[in-house]
Structure 1
């Protein structure tokens, strides 16, 4: 019973641990999310200089994706609730599919509660992300293009965008770790193995993937370009030398 409970709750614990440990690692090595936050600031900076529906279209596309995943979370929550009403049928199915056929009804009920928790967490993460992206759109629309936007205001709008992305990533991770909860029905230790594999895949995507290297190179190129522009402005201000 103790081992079964451990393997059942393990994906949920791993999900929380991953969300707590990654920010600590980001202090030493920037993740893909950290690098993309730099691009978000560039987006806001450029949005202050143009009056067009382009930024609204981009924001709408992002919010549409978040809304779709939030709706999917609701369907998954309802599906888990429906399974509670079909436990005898589920137990018969597990008897033919599961490698560990010693699951009791109590074990399955506890595990279904873990699955329900994962999908509820995903739902709250996605809906919070949707709300924050909505706030971001309002802040972006409130920009006054007849004056130069201050760096403080740009930073505030960027942080709102980054918060939306952070909660979106949290919801996506809940989906990833819920795969391990499904593997539990086949074998409880397969759930642990799947969970550890999920951690490795997510860590690779965040810190060592091709997308990480590409985003980092784009950030470096943009930084060099800003440096050249700043040096050019300084030379213009200095003007020609006197003889």
Structure 2
């Protein structure tokens, strides 16, 4: 039970990332809708000469860079805890949560927490790299001649890949927070992970942001069809 509760957040993280693309085949998530809007962004950026797109890209990269730096700090913090295990064990016993902590179990749990933050770090840094490539490709678009649909699709797809990895890093944070519940009770860690999954599903498929984004995408699609006619 202890090992299952320890590994459960990591299992949920990978399972969620694998399952969501399957669900998106039948119901578009907020991420899918945003990918459509990203394509509109690239198509519009190819027609205008303005620093607006550079400012937007810079703001996005700043956010990703901040999260990547935070992940590195959290990783180092967990490493530091390994050198303070006696103090940690004393602190856990002082909390008096009516359970016995074995050093081996705590070490394994810390390794799982470390893995979550390392996964977040790699996701954020990969996202940052992809957004950097997106900025280069966006700047390379020739505004004197309209880019082809394939070129617009490629640039937008790279933007979406960056967002996908950014979301993956955010999810790692969510499940890492759920691992903290393990120190209170093993079963509470499992419950916290299930609640986290419920929150993520709600935000992706049933949130107010999802409804507003879907409405905006539909209106934009109608406007585009009317302009083409």
Bin of the TM-score, shorter chain as denominator length = over 0.9
Aligned 8 A contact 1:44 1:158 in 2 = yes
Deviation at 1:52, TM superposition (A): 1.3
Give the TM-score normalised by the residue count of structure 2: 0.99
- List per-residue Cα deviations over 1:64-92 (Å, max 9, x = no partner): 00000000000000000000000011011
Distance in 2, Cα, partners of 1:200 & 1:21: 13
**Number of residue pairs the alignment of both structures matches:** 229
Distance in 1, Cα, partners of 2:209 & 2:120: 24
Deviation at 1:98, TM superposition (A): 5.2
1:239 aligned partner: none
Aligned residue among 216, 222, 225 for 1:224: 222
Give the direction of change, closer, same or farther, for the CA distance of 1:30–1:116 in structure 2 (3 Å limit): same
Aligned 8 A contact 1:98 1:187 in 2 = no
Distance in 2, Cα, partners of 1:168 & 1:204: 18
Distance in 2, Cα, partners of 1:98 & 1:229: 67
Deviation at 1:170, TM superposition (A): 0.0
Taking only aligned residues, the RMSD between alpha carbons, in angstroms, comes to 0.8
SS of structure 2 residue aligned to 1:184? helix
Deviation at 1:30, TM superposition (A): 0.2
Asked whether 1:190 is paired with 2:196, we answer no
1:112 aligned partner: 110
Name structure 2 gaps, 5 residues minimum.
none
Aligned residue among 153, 172, 175 for 1:174: 172
1:92 aligned partner: 90
Name structure 1 gaps, 5 residues minimum.
232-243
Give the TM-score normalised by the residue count of structure 1: 0.93
Give the direction of change, closer, same or farther, for the CA distance of 1:179–1:173 in structure 2 (3 Å limit): same
Q: Which entry has the higher C-alpha Rg, 1 or 2?
A: 1
- List per-residue Cα deviations over 1:168-191 (Å, max 9, x = no partner): 000000000001111111111111
Distance in 1, Cα, partners of 2:150 & 2:189: 46
Q: Which runs of 4+ in 1 moved over 3 A?
A: none
Asked whether 1:23 is paired with 2:21, we answer yes
- List per-residue Cα deviations over 1:99-135 (Å, max 9, x = no partner): 2522200000000000000000000000000000000
